[in-house]
Structure 1
Amino acid sequence: MMVVFDPEVQHRIMVCVTPQKSCERLIKRGAARAREIDGQFVVIYVNKKQALNRELKEHKILLELFELAKNLGGTVSILSGEEVYDTLADFSKNNKITHIIVGKSLRSAFEIQKSGEVINPLINAVEKNGITVEVVD
């Protein structure tokens, strides 16, 4: 899915979220960064194909996050893909994203080993396109 940014806007910020209340801080950071550099921001959630049936609680949190993004002047998009970092990297390239904001993983080392890491492969995939990635604690 393509998000239409104003073609005159040079700074395009992608905020990556998961269905966790703690992601509110990422959206607020993205909105603030967009104001600081006169840019636009989009909040992105990647729904892995095997995770289509999320708990109702997670859907509610995502809806709240999307509402916050819209209230702060952003847009939202839900992407679908097997590998989260590939999906994010493709979206960032296709939409000429200049900045990416992600949260530091709260998962255990075991969970990361089992499910795979997202942040470092994403950084490796987008840095060649000159995209700045900000990892927020």
Structure 2
Amino acid sequence: MEKKLEKILVLVTAQKSSLRLIEYGFEVAQSCGGEYHILHVQKGDSLFQSNDSLKLLQNLADYGCRRGGILHLACEGDVAAYIGRFAEAEEVTQVILGQPPAPEGKKGKKKRESEFEKILAALPEGVKVLQYPPAELEQADRRKIG
């Protein structure tokens, strides 16, 4: 029986910190001999909300392509649903994303489902989720990447 090709998907935003996610995704893909995809999904109908986002996306695209990634950019009203459909269509086996934002809200109030939780729920069954930074990565090592 042939072993299934690992397909790594790194979810990025138009932020400089996404360079670390791209680098981590590259390392994961190298370690398992997998195919390496980078996905940015902008909520709404335009990727370029500002000149800053255009420049940041260009930097991420350049860096990701130099690291061997296949870059995908999309606009969608429901970001999490798009990510889930993409992961299913591409037969993604592992997804890498950043740490979720700190919880908001006051005690006793019903907490809205975060975008992070929606993404996790939208992923196909069996997809392994890796968060960056991984727990074992020391603070000193984090500063070396981007």
User: Scaled by the length of structure 2, what TM-score is found?
Assistant: 0.77
Aligned residues: 126
Deviations 1:97-127 (CA, angstroms, capped at 9, x unpaired): 00101112347726xx78x622222222225
The amino acid of 2:15's aligned partner reads Q
**Structure 1 residue corresponding to 2:26, chosen from 18, 31, 35:** 31
Contact 2:7 2:92 in 1 (8 A): yes
Contact 1:13 1:100 in 2 (8 A): yes
Distance in 2 between residues matched to 1:108 and 1:60, nearest whole Å: 30
Contact 2:84 2:124 in 1 (8 A): no
Provide the secondary structure at the position in 1 that maps to 2:119. helix
Distance in 2 between residues matched to 1:61 and 1:103, nearest whole Å: 17
Match of 1:122 in 2: 119
Superposition pairs of residues 40-51 of structure 1, within 5 angstroms: 40-50=35-45
Identical-pair percentage: 23
1:80 CA displacement: 1.8
Match of 1:95 in 2: 90
Provide the secondary structure at the position in 2 that maps to 1:120. helix
Distance in 2 between residues matched to 1:38 and 1:134, nearest whole Å: 17
Provide the secondary structure at the position in 1 that maps to 2:88. helix
Gaps spanning 5+ residues in structure 2: where?
Answer: 106-110, 134-146
Deviations 1:2-34 (CA, angstroms, capped at 9, x unpaired): xxxxxx971111111111000111000100000
User: Scaled by the length of structure 1, what TM-score is found?
Assistant: 0.81
Provide the secondary structure at the position in 2 that maps to 1:10. coil
The amino acid of 1:76's aligned partner reads L
Which 4+ runs in 1 deviate beyond 4 A? 50-53
Distance in 2 between residues matched to 1:52 and 1:67, nearest whole Å: 16
Match of 2:55 in 1: 60
Q: CA RMSD in A?
A: 2.2
Match of 1:136 in 2: 132
Greater percentage in helix: 1
Specify the structure having the higher radius of gyration (Cα): 2
